[in-house]
Structure 1
């Protein structure tokens, strides 16, 4: 319709059985040139929108990194506390064995709490460390995309 040729004529052109009339060839060339120019150069509005998106993603990435670091610090604190509790419980058990006295109830409670198995087998810490590494790589990628003259593939 745009080239002012029939559908059958166009079909024959596509299959190589017929050529287009001169006016249709010129119109098609102009259309293709126009479309290729538009796709080759991103509009300033798109570049601006991309930069805004990249900045927002960088901001979110920084937030996620701080959150993962806080979780990792809290986990380390909890694990350290558990380790110290186990050391105290071990000391109390040894002390009670040496003195051969009856273990006071509060000692028994502390020892039981220290011996209580923890559900975390170290995978939580590993997962947080892995997440931090991924976020750092993502940040590097986002920063490289933000730099002027970077490849936008």
Structure 2
């Protein structure tokens, strides 16, 4: 991730093109491991990677950050475009996951972009949890 991600960031600066990242966290991964064992967890991760790679463009980068977190790097892509792309990929995913996005700024490195995408992801999770709470109250 570091080498290819940094190269994509340098290229985006050199050619003054946007670059976006998405941080993805597999929902319920602990439960998958607890119920089906580590083999089930490994199979879920492999299934997710296959799906992400088949749903992204040839120049996009899909990389496991660790555990059940993945980073996707989208060259020539704004944050808004990355958001739409991730929502489309999510619709066809066999597994549930949460994500956040960020677009490169002048003073960014890959780590600061991932950190912003992480904050965006947790903000989205809080919003979804609040929305679920409201719909449960209305039942």
Verify same fold: TM over 0.5: no
TM tier relative to shorter chain = under 0.3
TM-score under structure 1 normalisation?
A: 0.21
Higher strand share: 2
TM-score under structure 2 normalisation?
A: 0.23
Q: Quick check: which has more Rg, 1 or 2?
A: 1
Which structure ranks higher in relative contact order (CA pairs < 8 Å, sequence separation ≥ 6)? 2
Higher helix share: 1
